[in-house]
């Protein structure tokens, strides 16, 4: 997801796209490929987003579903475009 944005910035010769890694609680987020990513911000603290793309395995669930679902609904109501890949489609529905 990040590489095409990074490449577009390089081709454009300027920053057209920026990104932050968001996880439900902040800190490290694991992947099914056993790769850990250090997030930049917790979901509840994510601000100034244009787009939020949720990536997860099909069996993933939020640790605190009620709070995280409410945060997603709030972001969407405030104009953030939500998208999902793999199980992220289920999280954003």
Query: What are 63's two structure tokens?
Result: 């640790």
Rounded CA gap, 12 and 14, in Å?
5
* pLDDT tens per residue, range 29-88: 887 778 888 999 999 999 999 999 988 888 888 889 999 999 999 999 999 999 988 866
CA distances to 50, 60, 64, 65, 75 from 19, rounded to whole Å, are 10, 23, 24, 24, 16
Residue-level pLDDT at 60: 82
């Amino acid at each position: 997801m990040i590489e095409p944005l990074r490449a577009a910035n390089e081709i454009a010769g300027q920053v057209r796209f920026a990104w932050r890694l968001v996880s439900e609680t902040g800190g490290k987020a694991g992947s099914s490929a056993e790769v850990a990513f250090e997030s930049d911000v917790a979901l509840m603290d994510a601000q100034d987003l244009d787009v939020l793309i949720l990536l997860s395995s099909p069996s993933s669930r939020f640790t605190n579903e009620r709070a995280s679902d409410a945060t997603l609904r709030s972001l969407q109501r405030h104009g953030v475009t939500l998208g999902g890949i793999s199980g992220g489609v289920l999280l954003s529905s």
